[in-house]
Amino acid sequence: MELLLKQKYNEINEIARSPTLQTVLMVEKFIEENSGEFKKTSLFKKLPKKVMWQTFQVIMEYLESIGKIAYDKKGYVVYIWNPKLVEKYRNKKGLEWNAK
């Protein structure tokens, strides 16, 4: 599955402009603030600043591949990143983090 996500990201990235960090953070913040309210196309149209569709696709693939977003059964974009939970387990003895 991870290989498939990387492949999709790379395929899209070849034809799209690479997004700036500022654009990625803007999209991520918007998704976090509006988690579960929009499907992908609606979310794209509601962004505070205009982004090219191909660039938006790259950002969405990236956020999904690093575990920050997911799609529910109906296709709504949901923000799933939980930094407090990560921090809790990061410091737990006996757990190892795999850097892939």
Number of domains in the chain: 1
Does a structural domain hold residue 74?
A: yes
Does a structural domain hold residue 95?
A: no
Does a structural domain hold residue 44?
A: yes
Does a structural domain hold residue 70?
A: yes
What tokens were used for 54?
A: 């191909």
Does a structural domain hold residue 98?
A: no
Instruction: Give the global pTM.
Output: 0.74
Which residues lie below 8 Å from residue 17, measured CB to CB, with a gap of 6+? 52, 54, 55
Q: What is the CATH number of the domain that holds 30?
A: 1.10.10
Read off the pLDDT of residues 42-68 as tens digits, 9 standing for 90 and up: 999 999 999 999 999 999 999 999 999
pLDDT for res 92: 79
Does a structural domain hold residue 16?
A: yes
Which structural domain range is residue 15 located in?
Answer: 2-90
Does a structural domain hold residue 10?
A: yes
Q: Tell me how crowded residue 69 is: count the other CB atoms within 10 A of its CB.
A: 24
Does a structural domain hold residue 100?
A: no
pLDDT for res 59: 97
